[in-house]
Structure 1
Amino acid sequence: MEYNLLRFQQPTLNHHYKSTERGHVYQESNIKYVVKAVSKPSFDYEPPTSNSKNMLESIKNFLAAFYWFCYPYTMVGRTLSTISACLIAVEKSSDISPLFFIGLLQALVPYTFLDVYINGVNQLSDLEIDKINKPHLPLASGQLSFTTGFIIAALSLILSFWLSWIIGSWPLIWSIVSCFTLWTAYSINVPFLRWKRHPLLAAMCIFLSFTIISPVTFFLHMQTFVFKRPVVFPRSLVFLIVFMSFYSVGIALFKDIPDIEGDKKFGIHSFSARFGQKQVFWICVWGFETAFGVALLAGATSSCLWIKIATGLGHAALASILWYQAKYVDLTSKASVRSFYMLIWKLLFTSYFLIPLIR
């Protein structure tokens, strides 16, 4: 309520002057004052909604940045390779039990955190290079700060080691420690390390991780720790190692093809920087095709007819898709090269489902 003091002069006011020696004196009489209360509309308080919207938007942006910080396609590949290696330990249908899935989770969860660390430390070490080669990544684009990235990577590493120790599987612990050592040496820029600057050492890291450490340790984890069986090396595991020998080398060489500009500027002597993108590209393609050829032959030697058909036709189809798409890659376009690189991973993902069938 707001009060206004209004003065109203009545029409019957009497005014008169009287004369004195001091002058004229004005006298006013019959003056009335009326107080009038005037009501004005009140405004109720409305809580702002912008704060909650901003908070939700911030959370959404952080999760999107974290998603790309983790390199999701490598994590999917790691997950499928783990499942594939664990399935090799399955000898009969009754092995697919709650015990199997518990053992699978025991392998997947610590390695998921390790993957976050591996991808994170690589981006932290390559921050300036990624501003040229991969400006869309969260650290290079500024979506995540360096400090935030460091904290995420450090916490992920701690969780990975802690979980593997709590689980108590020695094949799993050995795998975590080995991959941590290799990929840290691959990425961080300290004397005698930063192995990615040297093409042979870089290829060795990828080869050992993809071909030896991951499949062998995941299989041994399931075989010895979960199923409590003696150590054996079945035909499927040997085939997986041979297959990944060719495929991992192809990935190791191919991943640097779109990054040649930044690598040259920062003194990373990749094979693409040394020998040219086109030559390395076709070496990689032949490596992938060789891997699929090995898979086709391994499936053909199986004693089971349906396995021969499934693995043979499956890997033949994958090889055909790869060859067809390779002919249309524009090496001068980063988008075209990266699209083909993602195709390489998708074909590998599919092959992970076919490999355990070979017995």
Structure 2
Amino acid sequence: MDRAHAISSPNVSSLISGANLCSRKLSSNSIYYASSRGSKASQNKIKAQIQYNPLRFQQSPFNHHFKSIEGGRTYEENNTKYIVKAVTVPSSESESQPSISKNTVDSVKNFLTVLYQFIYPYATYGRLSAAISGSLIAVQNLSDISPLFLVGLFQALFSHLFMDLYVNGVNQVFDFEIDKINKPYLPLASGKLSFRNCAFIVASSAILGFGVTLMIGSPALTLNLLSTFILWTGYSANVPFLRWKRYPVLAALFMFLSWTFIFPLSYFLHMQTFVFKRPVVFPRSLIVSMVFNAFYSIGLALAKDIPDIEGDKQHGIDSFSIRLGQKKVFWISFFLYEMAFGVAFLAGATSSSPLWIKIVTSLGSFVLASILWYQTKYVDVTDPASTRSSYKFNWKLMVVSFFLLPLIR
């Protein structure tokens, strides 16, 4: 049961409480009210006859002990002063537990949100869809879509996800100062993620990627991981003889090699030889996919630097956008994309697949090319936000194409 504490002034008898206090009458006692504004007590004398019983305090649901209804005032009774006090009792463990749990959940949510922004979602979706597309090319009939196939696909996606996190992260670590100008919204550049935590994520991703891939034991996935690690470390790392992104031809070449050869071949061979245990063959759909990626990857390699021209100039990064101009590079990229869709259209129309597959693949490629053409009318090549939005949109078109290409036989 809570208690009410009263603190009296010196030389004044203490207040005695008992279990059964009898009511008493205070007669001829004047109660003087002292104004908080410092007015004289003699000018505000109020005489009253009061009958009172001791107040019984009940415990507050907020665990507070209240001494008086009116806080901040002092009462005088027979020259005795009573000072109002409120004492807070700490909450119990059971009451603080929900608050701790909520804070933990919020922290986890915030971290996952920052991590999602950190991995360049549009690029991650593109590379994961490339893994799915390459795996589907190895499917010869519907019976191949089995638990065995799903396990092999999960192996490819899981190992690639770690390396994708490494590729995106290592680029942000070494582009920290440039991203403050070009991409200030990124977690590291904006301060949402500390440099130390970012470096830890990058290093952990590389270690986990190699560990998982070696445990799987697929030669194709191991080659994929090793090639990606070497190429993109050399592309981003600002150390002697590396930082190859400073040279536009080399930068475009790395994207070309990754998308044209490493991704489609490694995922197809993983599924074909390691999962299905079949001999190495190169089906028509794989060749078409590689040619499509050749055009599209060069277009992406050129277009990615269009919105970053300001920061690249300040930090000595050469690019085709700086050399040739943003507008010219934009239209070169556009025609490369359209050529890629043209390859898919012709391959779909001339394939040996059933009629409905011919219609789906050729018509689908034509629709994607038309959407691309329509979208370019609204792009301002001098506005970084506009060109960056267009660049991300082109990744989405590529993702859709990756699910059409395996149908071509």
Q: TM-score, normalised by structure 1?
A: 0.89
8 A contact 1:220–1:231 mirrored in 2:
yes
Is 1:355 paired with 2:408?
no
- Deviation (angstroms), 1:41: 4.3
Instruction: Provide, for residues 255-285 of structure 1, a one-character-per-residue CA deviation record: whole Å limited to 9, x for no partner.
Output: 0000000000000001001111000000000
Q: Percent identity?
A: 59
Counterpart of 1:320? 370
Deviations 1:140-169 (A, max 9, x none): 000000010111111111111011101111
Change (3 A) 1:71 1:3: closer
Check conservation: 1:2, 1:38, Cα contact below 8 A: no
Match of 1:187 in 2: 236
Q: Quick one: structure 1 residues 92 and 38, their matched pair in 2 at CA, closer, same or farther if it must change by over 3 Å?
A: closer
Asked whether 1:203 is paired with 2:249, we answer no
The 1:243/1:3 distance shift into structure 2, 3 A limit, reads: closer
Secondary structure in structure 1 of the residue aligned to 2:105: helix
Match of 1:340 among 382, 390, 398: 390
Q: Is the Cα contact below 8 Å between 1:172 and 1:217 reproduced in 2?
A: yes
* Aligned residue among 67, 70, 74 for 2:119: 70
Q: Which amino acid aligns with 2:342?
A: G
Q: Does residue 175 of structure 1 match 2:230? A: no
User: What displacement does 1:53 show?
Assistant: 4.4
Question: Alpha-carbon deviation of 1:303?
Answer: 2.1
What pairs up with 1:1-359 in 2 under 5 angstroms?
Answer: 1-2=3-4, 5-6=14-15, 39-43=56-60, 44=63, 45=89, 46=91, 47-48=95-96, 51-304=100-353, 305-359=355-409
Query: How far apart are residue 94 of structure 1 and its match?
Result: 1.1
In structure 2, distance between residues paired with 1:53 and 1:316: 50
CA apart distance, 1:40: 4.0
CA distance in 1, matches of 2:100, 2:152: 44
Farther off after superposition, 191-200 or 335-344: 335-344
Q: Please state how far the C-alpha of 1:57 moved relative to its aligned partner.
A: 3.1
- Alignment RMSD, CA only? 2.1
Contact 2:309/2:322 (8 A) holds in 1: yes
Q: In 2, distance between residues paired with 1:37 and 1:312? A: 92
3-state DSSP of counterpart to 1:232: coil
Q: Which letter does structure 1 place at the counterpart of 2:370?
A: S
Residue type of the alignment partner of 1:294? V
Measure the CA separation in 1 of the matches of 2:15 and 2:230. Answer: 87
Q: Which amino acid aligns with 1:314?
A: G
* SS of the residue 1:240 aligns to: helix
Unaligned runs of 5+ in 1: 12-35
Q: Distance in 2 between matches of 1:95 and 1:60?
A: 38
Aligned mates of 1:281, 1:170 — CA distance in 2: 38
Aligned length: 335
Pair 38,311 (structure 1): closer, same or farther in 2 beyond 3 Å? closer
1:223-260 residue CA offsets vs partner (Å, 9 max, x unmatched): 10011111111111111111100000000000000000
* Corresponding residue SS for 1:190: coil
Question: 2:5 & 2:348 partners in 1: Cα distance?
Answer: 95
Letter in 2 for 1:145: S
Residues in 2 aligned to 1:290 and 1:300: alpha-carbon distance in whole angstroms: 15
User: Which has a greater percent of helix?
Assistant: 1
Change (3 A) 1:40 1:341: same
Question: CA separation of 1:97/1:270 partners in 2, compared to 1, >3 Å: closer, same or farther?
Answer: same
Structure 1 61/3 Cα, relative in aligned 2: closer, same or farther at 3 Å? closer
Measured against aligned partners, the alpha-carbon deviations of 1:105-139 in whole angstroms (never above 9, x if no partner) come to 11110100110111110111101100000000000
Do 2:326 and 2:382's aligned partners in 1 also have CA atoms closer than 8 Å?
A: no
Give the whole-Å Cα distance in 2 for the aligned partners of 1:75 and 1:6: 74
